[in-house]
Copies of this chain bind each other. A is one copy, B any other.
């Protein structure tokens, strides 16, 4: 299941992508427009800022804004920041690999092979989709 955090995060990013580039949008505005609890959204945007996707400006007229062009933000990045590893098991994770306790032989593990396929197909989708793609229809 996709967490609400990720869902809300993507919605916030797409909202920002629709605005004029570089102009800060207050959390409260995004919260109202996308029906997201203000405080929860605050923590999500903070995560996105720390990851380098968003910039922020304090004080009156401040808010959050995209640091890059929506065309240059791939969903792989977004998913990894918000949801964590793309892989469904650590033993097929490219960035967070971990050996399984119970698997004596990874090369012969059926789950391993299946999950590599799932990982690759999802990576392909996320890699080929940019934030700009999400708002174009």
Query: Could you list which residues of chain A lie within 8 angstroms of chain B, going by C-beta atoms?
Result: 1-2, 7, 10-11, 14, 34-36, 75, 88-89, 101-104, 108-111, 113-115, 117-118, 121-122, 124-125, 129, 134-135, 137
What are the residues of chain B within 8 A of A135 when measuring CB–CB?
110
A2 close to B110 (CB less than 8 A): no
B113 close to A122 (CB less than 8 A): no
B111 close to A11 (CB less than 8 A): yes
Contacts A35-B102, A89-B7, A102-B34; A137 near B125 (Cβ below 8 A): no
What are the residues of chain B within 8 A of A117 when measuring CB–CB?
125, 129
Q: Whole-angstrom distance from the CB of A105 to the nearest CB of chain B? A: 11
In-complex Cβ contact of A110 among B10, B89, B103, B111 (8 A): B10
Contacts A118-B122, A125-B121; A110 near B14 (Cβ below 8 A): yes
Of all chain B residues, which has the CB nearest A36?
Answer: B102
